[in-house]
């Protein structure tokens, strides 16, 4: 089995359109030879930073913010898709299929940052 992972940054306010786009591919994915499953994750942007800051004393927070750590707030919302395929070739065939030609619908909702690669499990 091969694991294909995609990360995209979505423009603020466009999260639902992106979620709907990926969900609309479900039937095509399920019909694709070699497709074994998918999970879609949407970041809860700012949740981790808020939790870290909430656990700090005022002095710790001031020191933290003075070092510029509070400047690392992401714009937009990160999505991560994890797909399982029987083979890399199966995923590549899907990428060339008519269903995946709809990707142009997705582009206006995305920021430039994205990754996509096959991964192997370490443990």
Query: What's the pLDDT at 58?
Result: 87
Q: Where do the structural domains in the chain lie, given as residue ranges?
A: 2-45+75-119
Specify the pTM.
Answer: 0.84
Residue 122 CA, distance from chain mean position: 20
- The pair of structure tokens assigned to 60 is 């710790």
Q: How many CA atoms are closer than 13 Å to the CA of 31, on its beta-carbon side?
A: 9
**Are the beta carbons of 28 and 36 closer than 8 angstroms?**
no
Dihedral angle over CA of 93, 114, 116, 26, nearest 10: -50
**Which CATH topology does 2-45+75-119 take?**
Alpha-Beta Plaits (3.30.70)
Question: Which tens digit of pLDDT belongs to each residue from 40-89?
Answer: 999 998 888 889 889 999 888 888 888 876 555 668 999 999 999 999 99
Q: At what angle do helices 58-66 and 47-54 cross, to 10 degrees?
A: 130
* Residue 112 host element (H or E): strand 110-119
- Summarised one tens digit per residue, pLDDT across range 20-44 is 999 999 999 999 999 999 999 999 9
> Closest by alpha carbon to 111, among 82, 86, 77, 71?
77
């Amino acid at each position: 089995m091969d694991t294909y992972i995609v990360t995209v940054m979505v423009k603020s306010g466009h999260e639902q359109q992106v979620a709907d786009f990926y969900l609309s591919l479900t039937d095509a994915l399920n019909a694709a030879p070699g497709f074994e499953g998918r999970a879609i994750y949407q970041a809860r942007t700012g949740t981790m930073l808020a939790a870290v800051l909430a656990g700090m004393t005022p002095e710790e927070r001031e020191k933290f913010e003075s070092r510029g750590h509070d400047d690392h707030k992401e714009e937009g919302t990160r999505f991560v898709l994890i797909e399982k395929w029987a083979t890399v070739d199966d995923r590549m065939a899907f990428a060339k299929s008519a269903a995946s030609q709809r990707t142009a619908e997705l582009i206006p909702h995305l920021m430039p940052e994205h990754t996509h690669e096959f991964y192997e499990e370490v443990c």
